[in-house]
Amino acid sequence: MTAQLIDKPSRSLPVLPAADFDFDKVSVAAASNSRLKAAVNNGVVRQDRGRVAKLAELPDSDALRSLAGDIKQHTLDYLDYYLVQLKASVELRGGHVHFAKTADDATQLILKIASDANVKSIIKSKSMVSEEIELAHSFEKAGFDVVETDLGEFIVQIDHDKPSHLVTPIIHKDLASIAELFSKYFGTPYNDDPNFLTKQARVYLRAKFRQADMGMTGGNFIVAQTGEICVVENEGNARQSVTSPRVLVSLIGIEKLVPRLDDLSVMLKLLARSATGQAMTVYTSLFTGPRPQGDTDGPEEFHLVLMDNGRSEILASEEYRETLRCIRCGACLNACPIYRSIGGHAYGSVYPGPIGALVTPLMQGLAHFSDLPKASSLCGACYDACPVKINIPKHLISLRRDMVNQNITGRFEQGVYRLWSRMLLSPGLYRTNLKLQKAMRFIAKKGFIRWTPPPASGWTKVRDIPQPAKQTFGEWWKKNR
């Protein structure tokens, strides 16, 4: 089952060919970029500590995370049932429900909704799935006036950049470069006061809110039983998307379903705490369907687009289904020492960090992203942080196993490991090898060695290695016990 899953991605590949992704190049550059590292660490360490502090307010955060994980798992295990229920709930409230199998299907569908409704201008609020399919780009190409209204995403859009974090998209950008960008974009003198810059964006975007024909949202959760989409935010731009335009389109991945409204009390107590260390974000909205008869704001027309784009294949895998529990909180990114060292862009996809190291190969092909599961020390900080208890280290190891089984891991490397393991099955060979390695003492200076031969030369590129001891423990035991 797994071999079929990873081998040939059947969904449309992104605009940038995955085959061109060179992890080594980008990660090495990122790791030596001290400006990037400072910016990233400043943000994520704070958020990670905030998470720990705020979770401590809960009576038993560990048990609550287990419960949240169980709720998501249950929903995934019966996703067909809940999708049927969801469709009925939304249609009962007057909304239209569409199912998009691929990124292309979703894009074409939404473009058609916009053109059928004579839409000219579109306001978009933050949505990772829309980034996944590069929807704004498609809108621009088709001649629509589309603007990202989340401040970070707006900055990404006007800078032709890409987000580098699930929750704080411009964590990699420093103040000076943003000030520079705004000065150029708005044609105003350079000003690096964050308040000034934010107000500048606010005025610009407020005019867009006021006259937009169509609003777009994503969804943090969507309730099968009653049809509500739940969107959390701090700025208010998602609320604007569901207030002023006459058409509303919400594009949501099929894995975002939860069965009941009651489940939101569990999810909401974990989401903001895990993401940024807040008990609640400033706004949590629940909405569905067009506006009821008599209301004078809110959408006249509502479309829910539920997208697959490879998720059903992950669902089919008993091993990897669990990764679909993800509620996109970013806690794993914040906790990850690799993410802290290289930032989000080095992962080559909209989903960076530990969860990205899983879903990007799963969705876009393990062969194209073979470094992602391996570039991890398996420290487990991500699993500790995950509010729905996705066992990320376990899945990373499973992907490594898949790579061996599919010969994505090179045959020479496989040979080295197999030989090494054979050697360890024989105590005689093991002890002989220890004796041979002791010869390294001859090239040691003050107890350390500066150079190790291949295939271990990567070690001494960075650091020295202590010399082997005069006697191994086994030799000492033999002599003294």
Residue 385 sits in the site that holds other proteins (CB under 8 A):
no
Residue 279 sits in the site that holds other proteins (CB under 8 A):
yes
| Of positions 277, 383, 388, 389, contacts other proteins by CB under 8 A | 383
**With respect to other proteins, which residue has the nearer C-beta, 142 or 456?**
456
Q: How far apart are CA 25 and CA 349, in angstroms?
A: 15
Give the gyration radius of the chain's Cα atoms.
25
Q: Closest distance between other proteins and the C-beta of residue 378, in Å?
A: 6
Residue 160 sits in the site that holds other proteins (CB under 8 A):
no
* Contacts of other proteins in 104-143 (CB under 8 A): none
* Contacts of other proteins in 327-346 (CB under 8 A): 337-338, 340-342
* Contacts of other proteins in 37-76 (CB under 8 A): 37, 39, 42-43, 45-46, 57-60, 63-64, 67, 70-71, 74-75
Helix (H, G, I), strand (E, B) or coil at 350: coil
Name residue 477's amino acid.
W
- In Å, how far from its chain's centre is CA 134? 15
**With respect to other proteins, which residue has the nearer C-beta, 143 or 428?**
428
DSSP state of 445: B
Residue 3 sits in the site that holds other proteins (CB under 8 A):
no
| Of positions 83, 111, 158, 367, contacts other proteins by CB under 8 A | 83
Q: Closest distance between other proteins and the C-beta of residue 300, in Å?
A: 12
Residue 309 sits in the site that holds other proteins (CB under 8 A):
no
Residue 27 sits in the site that holds other proteins (CB under 8 A):
yes
| Of positions 159, 284, 319, 367, contacts other proteins by CB under 8 A | 284
Q: How far apart are CA 77 and CA 322, in angstroms?
A: 10
Q: How far apart are CA 181 and CA 28, in angstroms?
A: 26
* Contacts of other proteins in 179-198 (CB under 8 A): 194-195, 197-198
Stretch that binds other proteins, among 106-114, 132-140, 148-156, 326-334 (CB under 8 A): 148-156
CA angle 139, 171, 72 (to 5 degrees): 75
**With respect to other proteins, which residue has the nearer C-beta, 44 or 114?**
44
Q: Count interface residues toward other proteins (CB under 8 A).
A: 164
Please give the torsion angle defined by the CA atoms of residues 212, 218, 220 and 225, in that order, rounded to the nearest 10 degrees.
90
Burial of 385 (0-12, 13-18, 19+ CB in 10 A): buried
Q: Closest distance between other proteins and the C-beta of residue 141, in Å?
A: 26
**Would you state the structure tokens that stand for residue 350, as one six-digit string?**
């909209």
**With respect to other proteins, which residue has the nearer C-beta, 244 or 323?**
244
Cis peptide before 455 (omega within 30 of 0): yes
Q: How far apart are CA 242 and CA 240, in angstroms?
A: 5
Q: How far apart are CA 408 and CA 412, in angstroms?
A: 11
**With respect to other proteins, which residue has the nearer C-beta, 231 or 355?**
231
Going residue by residue from 343 to 372, which x/- string records binding to other proteins, judged by CB under 8 A? ------------------------------
- Which residue, 376, 306, 341, is CA-closest to 355? 376
